[in-house]
């Protein structure tokens, strides 16, 4: 099999986002846009991946995982110029080059695999991805000859009235033979209207010199969505959210109401856990098996929940570990807490983890019973099987011994609980 290297175009500012943040760093389902594309690039077997960065390149570079090469496109002179700026990455290389855009988070690895396969079996100079959409406004249109062969991609701004009615658009995903790409890109001229070098012009160049150009169509129109503005962002989030939920269901998680459940892309949930409606689970969260989460729960980043835990209505957990069989069934907040096994967190319990300067840790050991409305002002240690009385305010620095009982405001340690 031939080698595959991938270039991801991500230098643009994303003017239409109206944002200080580079477009590819806008999060969707808890993950920056570019992350979805990187994942596809890896999944289709890219041996090397190079991201072309420009606008706020330092910031974007920091978000890239290790092993991803990046180059800076000095002046944003268009998509062909972006590919040219990765010349060093392709130097001496003779395999296939996959080109992706950093702003197409709905693209699937299955479709890109199909594209690469077709490119190789057809022995084409270039194979690119098209989609048939209801509203092609803004996209490059696919111009075909009478027999259906591709002739060119016409950018929206340069298209005639008739061409603008074409519903088949360019997704911005291309597979090239590297030698053919290297040669043809030299002939791309500056587009007089936009003052940019269009990568899409390469299609007409290749066709003109008699090279084979083929296409693959996406199975659904939505897969080709390129994020240009906030509305696109919301559309892609809705699609990705349902994909994420579907995956969980396939893996044995009950999602009672997919319409009102929000789970980020990088969450792990064990079998036979039930997620009730109106629940938000953010990224970097792990939940075990046989748990019950929600309704109306918010599980925030850095949280690890063991098996058989219940987190009920109006409960919020942030950067917190909950041990096996711990119950937190009613409105309460745990932040920066390390909670052992079989702990009961009563209704209205709050860890006051932030003192205005630092986030402090609350430790609650196995079998502890934290009474309703207890306020634990961190740092606090609640010993094994200790009890806090209802409405108790535990001052910072308090260490409640194993089986200790603390009550009152401020909390006083009274005695030891009997076994």
Using the rule CB under 6 A, give the single segment among 87-95, 97-105, 255-263, 295-303 that binds ligand UD1: 97-105
Would you call the peptide bond into 295 cis, given omega within 30 degrees of 0 as the criterion?
Answer: yes
Q: Which two tokens stand for residue 204?
A: 């007409």
Q: Does 200 bind ligand UD1 (CB under 6 A)?
A: yes
Is the backbone of residue 278 left (phi > 0), alpha (psi -120 to 50) or beta? left
Binding mask 184-223 for Ca ion (x = CB under 5 A): ----------------------------------------
Q: Which two tokens stand for residue 246?
A: 């579907």
DSSP codes joined into one string, 249-316: HHTT-EES-GGGEEE-TT-EE-TT-EE-SSEEE-SSEEE-SS-EE-SS-EE-TTEEE-TT-EE-TTEE
DSSP bridge pairs for 143: 152
Whether 38 contacts 127, CB under 8 Å = no
Whether 392 contacts 371, CB under 8 Å = yes
Q: What whole-number distance in Å separates Cα of residue 184 and Cα of residue 203? A: 9
Nearest to 225 by CA among 129, 105, 102, 137: 105
Nearest to 321 by CA among 289, 361, 276, 283: 361
- Which are the contacts of 238, defined by CB distance < 8 A and separation ≥ 6? none
Is 330 an active-site residue? yes
- Single out the residue of 22, 102, 136, 226 in contact with Ca ion (rule: CB under 5 A): 226
Q: Does 202 bind ligand UD1 (CB under 6 A)?
A: no
- Single out the residue of 46, 170, 318, 398 in contact with ligand UD1 (rule: CB under 6 A): 170
Residue 227 CB, nearest distance to Ca ion (Å)? Answer: 7
Using the rule CB under 6 A, give the single segment among 8-16, 312-320, 339-347, 395-403 that binds ligand UD1: 8-16
> Which of ligand UD1, Ca ion, none has residue 81 at its interface (CB below 5 to 8 Å by kind)?
ligand UD1
Residue 205 CB, nearest distance to ligand UD1 (Å)? Answer: 13
> Which of ligand UD1, Ca ion, none has residue 199 at its interface (CB below 5 to 8 Å by kind)?
ligand UD1
Q: Does 79 bind ligand UD1 (CB under 6 A)?
A: yes
> Which of Ca ion, ligand UD1, none has residue 139 at its interface (CB below 5 to 8 Å by kind)?
ligand UD1
Q: What whole-number distance in Å separates Cα of residue 67 and Cα of residue 244? A: 26
Q: Does 52 bind ligand UD1 (CB under 6 A)?
A: yes
Q: Does 172 bind ligand UD1 (CB under 6 A)?
A: yes
DSSP three-state, residue 163: helix
Handedness of CA 299, 303, 304, 309 (dihedral sign): negative
Using the rule CB under 6 A, give the single segment among 163-171, 280-288, 358-366, 389-397 that binds ligand UD1: 163-171
Q: Does 398 bind ligand UD1 (CB under 6 A)?
A: no
- Taking residue 243's Cβ as centre, other Cβ atoms within 10 Å add up to 12
Residue 309 CB, nearest distance to ligand UD1 (Å)? Answer: 41
> Which of ligand UD1, Ca ion, none has residue 140 at its interface (CB below 5 to 8 Å by kind)?
ligand UD1
Q: Does 12 bind Ca ion (CB under 5 A)?
A: no
What count of Cα atoms within 13 Å lies in the side-chain half-sphere of residue 195? 2
Residue 163 CB, nearest distance to Ca ion (Å)? Answer: 19
Q: Does 82 bind ligand UD1 (CB under 6 A)?
A: yes
Helices (H) and strands (E) in the chain, counts: 9, 39
Q: Does 10 bind ligand UD1 (CB under 6 A)?
A: yes
DSSP codes joined into one string, 171-213: EEEEEEEHHHHHHHGGGPPEETTTTEE-TTHHHHHHHHTT--E
Nearer to ligand UD1 by Cβ, of 199 and 269: the residue is 199
SS3 content of the chain, % helix, strand, coil (to 5): 25, 30, 45
Q: Which two tokens stand for residue 209?
A: 């010199």
Using the rule CB under 6 A, give the single segment among 122-130, 194-202, 346-354, 395-403 that binds ligand UD1: 194-202
Nearer to Ca ion by Cβ, of 7 and 311: the residue is 7
Q: Does 101 bind ligand UD1 (CB under 6 A)?
A: yes
Q: Does 32 bind ligand UD1 (CB under 6 A)?
A: no
- The H or E element containing residue 413 is strand 412-416
Q: Does 102 bind ligand UD1 (CB under 6 A)?
A: yes
> Which of ligand UD1, Ca ion, none has residue 12 at its interface (CB below 5 to 8 Å by kind)?
ligand UD1
Q: Does 100 bind ligand UD1 (CB under 6 A)?
A: no
DSSP bridge pairs for 364: 339, 382
Q: What whole-number distance in Å separates Cα of residue 217 and Cα of residue 124? A: 16
Q: Does 153 bind ligand UD1 (CB under 6 A)?
A: yes
- Single out the residue of 9, 129, 255, 311 in contact with ligand UD1 (rule: CB under 6 A): 9
Q: Does 151 bind ligand UD1 (CB under 6 A)?
A: no
> What residues make contact with ligand UD1 under the rule CB under 6 A?
9-12, 52, 54, 73, 76-79, 81-82, 101-103, 139-140, 153, 155, 169-172, 198-200, 226, 228
Catalytic residue numbers read 330
């Amino acid at each position: 099999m031939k080698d595959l290297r991938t270039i991801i175009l991500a230098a643009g500012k994303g003017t239409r986002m109206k944002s200080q943040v580079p477009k590819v760093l806008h999060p969707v389902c808890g993950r920056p846009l570019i992350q979805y594309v990187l994942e596809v690039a890896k999944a289709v077997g890219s041996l090397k991946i190079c991201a072309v960065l420009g606008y706020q390149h330092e910031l974007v570079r920091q978000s890239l995982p290790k092993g991803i090469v990046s180059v800076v496109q000095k002046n944003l002179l268009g998509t062909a110029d972006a590919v040219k700026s990765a010349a060093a990455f392709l130097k001496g290389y003779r395999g296939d080059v996959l080109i992706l855009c950093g702003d197409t988070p709905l693209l699937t690895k299955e479709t890109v695999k199909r594209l690469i396969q077709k490119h190789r079996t057809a022995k084409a100079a270039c194979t690119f991805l098209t989609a048939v959409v209801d509203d092609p406004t803004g996209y490059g249109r696919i111009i075909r000859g009478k027999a259906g062969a591709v002739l060119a991609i016409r950018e929206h701004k340069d298209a005639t009235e008739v061409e603008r009615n074409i519903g088949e658009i360019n997704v911005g995903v291309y597979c090239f033979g590297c030698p053919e790409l290297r040669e043809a890109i030299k002939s791309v001229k500056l587009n007089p209207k936009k003052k940019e070098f269009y990568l899409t012009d390469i299609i007409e160049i290749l066709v003109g010199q008699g090279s084979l150009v083929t296409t693959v169509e996406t199975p659904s129109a939505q897969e080709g969505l390129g994020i240009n503005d906030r509305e696109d962002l919301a559309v892609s989030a809705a699609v990705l959210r349902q994909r994420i939920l579907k995956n969980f269901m396939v893996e044995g998680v009950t999602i009672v109401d997919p319409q009102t459940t929000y789970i980020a892309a990088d969450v792990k949930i064990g079998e036979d856990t039930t997620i009730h409606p109106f629940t938000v689970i953010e990224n970097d969260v792990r939940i075990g098996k046989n748990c019950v989460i929600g309704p109306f729960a918010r599980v925030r980043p850095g949280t690890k929940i063991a098996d058989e835990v219940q987190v009920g209505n109006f409960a919020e957990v942030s950067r917190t570990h909950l041990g096996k069989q711990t119950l937190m069934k009613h409105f309460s907040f745990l932040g920066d807490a390390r909670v052992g096994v079989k702990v009961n967190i009563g209704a209205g319990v709050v860890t006051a983890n932030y003192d205005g300067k630092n986030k402090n840790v609350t430790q609650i050991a196995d079998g502890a019973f934290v009474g309703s409305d207890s306020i634990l002002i961190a740092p606090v240690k609640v010993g094994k099987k200790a009890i806090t009385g209802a409405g108790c305010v535990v001052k910072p620095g308090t260490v409640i011994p194993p089986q200790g009982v603390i009550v009152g405001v401020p909390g006083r340690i009274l005695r030891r609980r009997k076994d």
